[in-house]
Amino acid sequence: MKKQPDPLEPLILLKQDKIKQYLIDDHIKLEIFENITSTNDYLKSMTITEPIQICLAEQQAQGRGRLGRKWYSPFGENIYMSYLYTLQKDINELAGLSMVATLAVMKTLKFYGILDHLVVKWPNDVIYKNKKLAGALVDVKANVQRMSKVIIGIGLNVNTLQVSNPFSQGWTSMRKILGKYIDRNVLSANLINHLTKYLAQFNQHGFSYFIDEWMQVEFLLNKTITVENFNKKIKGVVVGINNQGQLMLQLPSGNIQSFSSGDTTIMKKKIIQ
Ligand code: BTN
């Protein structure tokens, strides 16, 4: 039987040396803060000295989610990580980036034994049994001549148990799923290693390299949904993801429309026969 989580277990805090001992690339600059407004905002405001810079925090006062939402960031419980990386890509080639980061998170979760019921929801949600487990948020810091400095923010619910968690949608955590407390040091290193590999592959091959991996776990595929984009709601059936990482929707007219951003909602009623 699955062990019930013990909410009184002591906190294991994040430590540089504990994380660094597991990193494959030892040139990464890693900073850890007890409290910060947002790890993404921190890297956005910093002068960049290294090709890869990572910021982790125990807590965020103003953690940001996609589409202007807040990201719940209580002290010492979860992963709030931002990863700064330089891509040889133009700004218009970055649509699939948050999806690539999401796939790296999936890889880490699978390593921890979370295999079944784990899906992605375009463009950046990791969902377990219909509940949100993680999300990615990409900010562009600079873009000059086919060179983009990007900040990839990852929020992963690790040890959070409280029922008062104010996520707007249903939420879950690794601890809830696995029934045990998780040391975020080893987990952070695992996630950094996967991100490093996935970002290098994205830099070299672009998003098309990841389409098959994404489609195997895309929750929205063949579902009738609405996409809310620039204050317009558009209905259709999800028929795939294109080479740029855009969501392809078949409209009631039969035409296909592609979206590079938007908020998706699954419809109960089918509108296309
Ligand atoms: C989403 O699913 O809406 C994306 C959530 C991203 C949250 C992370 S936590 C670390 C980084 N810093 C932030 O302010 N946001 C991202």
Q: Are strands 53-57 and 29-33 parallel, antiparallel or unpaired?
A: parallel
| Protein residue with its CA nearest to atom 7 in ligand 1 | 155
Closest CA to 60 of 77, 45, 43, 75: 75
Residues 166-205: b if buried by 16+ CB within 10 A, e if exposed: ebeeebbbbbbbbeebbebbebbbbbbbbbbebbeebeee
Whole-number pLDDT of residue 143? 84
Question: What share of the chain has pLDDT > 90, as a percent?
Answer: 80
Ligand 1 neighbour 262 (Cβ under 6 A):
no
Q: Decide: 83 and 52 in contact? Cβ < 8 Å.
A: yes
Quickly tell me which residue has 């002591």 as its tokens: 10
Per-residue confidence band for 6, with pLDDT thresholds at 50, 70 and 90: low
Whole-number pLDDT of residue 122? 96
Question: Which one has a higher pLDDT value, 11 or 247?
Answer: 247
Per-residue confidence band for 163, with pLDDT thresholds at 50, 70 and 90: low
Per-residue confidence band for 170, with pLDDT thresholds at 50, 70 and 90: confident
Please give the distance, rounded to the nearest whole angstrom, from the Cα atom of residue 269 to the centre of ligand 1: 32
Give the number of the atom of ligand 1 that is nearest the alpha carbon of residue 67.
3
Closest CA to 37 of 63, 73, 7, 67: 63
Ligand 1 neighbour 128 (Cβ under 6 A):
no
Ligand 1 neighbour 122 (Cβ under 6 A):
no
Ligand 1 neighbour 40 (Cβ under 6 A):
yes
What is the model's pTM? 0.93
How far apart CA 135 and CA 108 sit, in angstroms, is 13
- Convert the pLDDT of each residue in 180-208 to its tens digit: 999 999 999 999 999 999 999 999 999 99
- Convert the pLDDT of each residue in 121-153 to its tens digit: 999 999 999 999 999 999 999 888 889 999 999
Whole-number pLDDT of residue 271? 47
Ligand 1 neighbour 132 (Cβ under 6 A):
no
- Convert the pLDDT of each residue in 73-109 to its tens digit: 999 999 999 999 999 999 989 989 999 999 999 999 9
Task: Report, in angstroms and rounded to the nearest whole number, the Rg of the chain calculated over CA atoms.
Answer: 18
Closest CA to 105 of 188, 33, 181: 188
